[in-house]
Amino acid sequence: MKDKVVLITGASSGIGKALAFAFGREQASIVICARSPESLETVRDELRRSGIDTLAVQADVSQEADVRKLIDATIQTYGRLDILINNAGISMRSMLRDVDPDVIRKVMDINFMGTVYATRYALPHILKTKGSIVGISSIAGYRGLPVRSGYSASKFAMNGFLEALRTELLDTGVHVLVACPGFTASNIRVSSLNNEGRVAGETMRDESKMMSAEECADHIVKAVKRRKRDLILTFQGKLTVFLNKWMPGLMDRMVYNTLAKEKDSPLRKKN
């Protein structure tokens, strides 16, 4: 990773921030983006204090013009791009019958279209370096999760998009990785949207029992180095994907029962 240029979207917290430090420790130059200028500047300063070469660009990945500006700034500063990590994402938590469709649209715009925009405009530069395109997806991209229908849809879309892209890029030397962390301690549940599109402000799961963002980032760095095709993390994540493939009916009930135990789960209410 020495002297590589790594662009990470949604890098102001959680897995994105951990990835910035993990790649930075490998002596890569790091480009980070986020919507909040205050959070972005804080992380930039932390990275620089750690001796990591960092460029911070405020950008909303759901806005095509912002993403083009982000890619242009990267090339103007470093003259190249080796690794794109599509990490920016948001979740939602609501039964479909209760949710405003605009909430699902917002989730799709950030999680899926943000990946499309960043990958589309980064691709010409990554083709030159025969670099890597990474999507930080989710187990929800393999197994639909109740009360998170919009989030699951966005991750299924990301997985299909990157699989199609990987096939398009056969024999070009470009590496495409789909990384699915499973339940990881991060702020994605705290910042998830409710049925009206308001931020929840608290997690509904015990974050202390989850894989840390730093451990997750270390696994992803190793997968990029090895140019792996897929990465599924945590025993629970691996088991969910396996059982959903071979015993989908059983998984319907298991997933329902597991998520019904979450704090204030609407699944506890009679349908």
Q: Which amino acid is at 254?
A: M
Task: Please state the pTM of the whole predicted model.
Answer: 0.90
Q: What is the pLDDT of residues 241-260, one digit of tens each?
A: 999 999 999 999 999 998 88
Residues of the chain above pLDDT 70, percent: 92
* 220 vs 243: CA distance, rounded Å: 24
Of 67-81, 123-137, 208-222, 242-256, give the lowest mean pLDDT range: 208-222
Of 143-147, 148-152, 208-212, 232-236, the poorest mean pLDDT is in 208-212
At residue 195, the pLDDT reads: 77
Least confident window among 37-51, 87-101, 203-217, 227-241: 203-217
CATH code of 5-234, in short, is 3.40.50.720
Q: Which tokens in the block code for residue 19?
A: 């990835």
Lowest average pLDDT, out of 54-58, 75-79, 211-215, goes to 211-215
Q: pLDDT tens for residues 1-31? A: 899 999 999 999 999 999 999 999 999 999 9
| Catalytic residue ranges | 151
- Percentage with pLDDT > 90 across the chain: 77
CB contact burial 88-126 (16+ within 10 A = b; e otherwise)? bbbbbbbeeeebeeebbebbbbbbbbbbbbbbebbbebb
Residue 190 banded pLDDT, cuts 50, 70, 90: low
Is residue 124 within 8 Å of residue 47, measured between CB atoms?
no
Q: What is the mean pLDDT of residues 165-193?
A: 84
The average pLDDT across 32-36 equals: 94
The torsion angles phi and psi of 232, rounded to 5 degrees, stand at -115, 120
Indicate if the pLDDT at residue 222 is higher than 80.
yes
In this model, does residue 104 exceed pLDDT 80? yes
Tally the C-alpha atoms within 13 A of residue 79's C-alpha that lie toward its C-beta.
1
Q: How confident is the model at residue 185 (pLDDT cuts 50, 70, 90)?
A: low
Q: Mean per-residue pLDDT for 143-150? A: 93
